[in-house]
């Protein structure tokens, strides 16, 4: 998380107008709290669908600021006995299922922007700046989710296309789905392709003249998910400003295979979850600090993205092969 904060200037009394800063805790006072703008965040829909991408990786679990969850011993779910037959007058064999209890907490995160009153237009300018901060906070969380996947497993290098590369990228995915199921007993049900990898997959099949390759080239994401026996596939093309003049892809030339589901509780099996602490019924709170010539707007939230089960996550790093 540290690398996402260091690129932001400090929030202080001399903020430049229009510059987003890491929020200062001193702004989080009851006097500055804005109930109308906080209510606005509840019904707000992200036009860039970054929230939807984030929930695809790490579904929301509502918890207190400090919480406990169990990391179950996956092997126990697949133990098998040959002595489960009850003898006359005896009880059935007793088995125990245990798990490791983990204490954790959600972290307070937020951003502030200073808006000069000479730059405002229309009655909804406050809502428009709140939207800007919400999108940026979601983008930060999406980067954290990808970083969490990266830190939980070792990358598997693959070469697609060319003389020495794979001529069947889908076969590479099937093999790793099966390998993941051998580790955990549960086949990954979601796949993320980076935009460049999805294009490379298409290029590999487009250059082959076989009927099978041509069919593979025309598969939609839904068709490919059905073929690979997974629930859903997403192609991530979201980007962030990595420097003053450059943008970078949040998901590079990578493919991620993992297991999770929407609407789960904190102890259900899943590879990754996003624990969120609601505040007064909302996942976000907004603070408004008015001055004579400018207004400071702050949006805060409490969250923690945790890989709750490392086994079974697969991360493929894909490069293009040399020419035929």
Region class of 122: left (phi > 0), else alpha (psi between -120 and 50), else beta: left
pLDDT in tens, 9-64: 777 767 877 778 788 777 778 889 999 999 999 988 888 889 999 999 999 999 99
Region class of 75: left (phi > 0), else alpha (psi between -120 and 50), else beta: alpha
Q: Say whether pLDDT at 1 is over 50.
A: no
E-strand spans in the chain?
Answer: 20-22, 60-62, 66-72, 99-105, 107-116, 156-160, 190-194, 232-236, 239-243, 246-249, 254-258, 272-276, 285-290, 294-307, 314-320
For the chain, domain boundaries: 2-74+100-320
pLDDT in tens, 135-191: 999 999 999 999 999 999 999 999 999 877 888 999 999 999 999 999 888 899 999
2-74+100-320 maps to which CATH number?
3.90.1690.10
pLDDT of residue 241: 82
DSSP 6-58: HTSPBP-TTPPBT-EEEPPGGG--TTTB-HHHHHHHHH---TT-HHHHHHHHS
Tell me the C-alpha distance between 231 and 11, whole Å.
Answer: 43
Q: How many residues does the chain have?
A: 324
pLDDT of residue 94: 74
**CA 149, 142, 181, 100 torsion-angle sign:** positive
Instruction: Quote the percentage of the chain above a pLDDT of 90.
Output: 59
Cβ count near 93 (within 10 Å):
10
Tell me the C-alpha distance between 24 and 38, whole Å.
Answer: 18
pLDDT of residue 75: 52
Residue that wins the pLDDT comparison between 31 and 109: 109
pLDDT in tens, 186-239: 899 999 999 999 999 999 999 998 999 999 999 999 999 999 999 999 999 988
> Residues 188, 254, 173, CA angle at the centre, nearest 5°?
40
What average pLDDT does the chain have? 87
- Burial classification of residue 233, based on how many CB atoms lie within 10 Å of its CB (0-12 exposed, 13-18 middle, 19 or more buried): buried
- Burial classification of residue 252, based on how many CB atoms lie within 10 Å of its CB (0-12 exposed, 13-18 middle, 19 or more buried): middle
- What confidence tier does 311 reach under pLDDT thresholds 50, 70, 90? confident
- Rg of the chain over all Cα atoms, to the nearest angstrom: 24
């Amino acid at each position: 998380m540290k690398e996402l904060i260091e690129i932001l200037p400090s929030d202080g009394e001399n903020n430049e107008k229009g510059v987003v800063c890491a929020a200062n805790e001193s702004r989080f006072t009851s006097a500055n709290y804005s109930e109308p703008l906080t209510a606005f965040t509840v019904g707000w829909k992200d036009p860039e669908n970054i929230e939807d991408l984030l929930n695809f990786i790490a579904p929301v679990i509502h918890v207190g600021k400090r919480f406990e969850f169990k990391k179950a011993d996956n092997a126990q779910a697949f133990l098998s006995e040959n002595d489960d037959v009850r003898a006359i007058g005896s009880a059935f064999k007793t088995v125990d299922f245990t798990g490791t209890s983990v204490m954790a907490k959600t972290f307070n995160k937020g951003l502030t922007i200073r808006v000069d009153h000479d730059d405002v237009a229309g009655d909804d300018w406050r809502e428009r700046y709140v939207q800007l901060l919400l999108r940026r906070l979601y983008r930060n969380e999406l980067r954290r989710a990808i970083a969490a996947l990266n830190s939980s497993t070792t990358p598997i290098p693959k070469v697609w296309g060319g003389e020495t590369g794979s001529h069947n990228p889908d076969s590479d995915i099937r093999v790793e789905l099966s390998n993941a199921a051998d580790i955990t007993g549960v086949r990954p049900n979601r796949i993320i392709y980076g935009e460049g990898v999805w294009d490379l997959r298409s290029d590999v099949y487009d250059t082959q003249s076989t009927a099978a390759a041509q069919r593979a080239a025309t598969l939609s994401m839904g068709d490919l998910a059905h073929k690979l026996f997974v629930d859903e596939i997403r192609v991530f093309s979201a980007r962030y400003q990595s420097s003053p003049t450059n943008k970078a892809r949040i998901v590079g030339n990578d493919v991620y295979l993992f297991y999770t589901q929407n609407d789960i509780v904190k102890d259900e099996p899943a590879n990754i979850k996003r624990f969120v602490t609601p505040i007064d019924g909302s996942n976000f709170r907004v603070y408004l600090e008015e001055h004579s010539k400018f207004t400071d707007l702050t949006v805060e939230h409490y969250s923690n993205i945790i890989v709750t089960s490392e086994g079974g996550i697969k991360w493929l790093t894909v490069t293009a092969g040399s020419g035929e």
